[in-house]
Amino acid sequence: MTATPPMCRCVVPAVLRTSWTDANPGRRFFGCANYRGVNACNYFRWIDPPLEDNIKRLVLALHKRIREVERRNNHSSFVREMSKSFFIVVGTLLAKSVIDYLFGNM
């Protein structure tokens, strides 16, 4: 979407957001830029039309699957990074032990 966002009642451009509620999954809307702020004007306007129930279920299922894959990938990356760190620490301690053994504790 290349259209200029509307101005909310806070006199700032509204922000394009995507709803992930069960009632409106994947449905885009413009909302107040100060959403959840103390001075929010609660501006709200749907961009996308409502979805049929069967499409809602499909979008929710796909979104759930994507989130699962993202979590698994992030978890895998975390485990890989922790494993690298673990092996670096263990390798450093082993190297120090070998050096101490070979050359005595200096």
Give me the pLDDT at residue 3, please. Answer: 67
Structure tokens at 34: 């100060």
Pairing outcome for strands 27-31 and 44-46 = antiparallel
Please check the confidence at residue 5 and state whether its pLDDT lies above 80: yes
Return d(Cα 59, Cα 51) in angstroms, integer.
Answer: 10
> pLDDT tens for residues 46-66?
999 999 999 999 999 988 888
> pLDDT tens for residues 13-42?
999 999 999 999 999 999 998 888 777 898
Percent of the chain with pLDDT over 70: 74
DSSP string of 39-97?
T----EEE-SPPPPHHHHHHHHHHHHHHHHHHHHHHHHHHHHHHHHHHHHHHHHHHHHH
Identify the residue with better confidence: 71 or 88. Answer: 71
- pTM exceeds 0.85 for this model: no
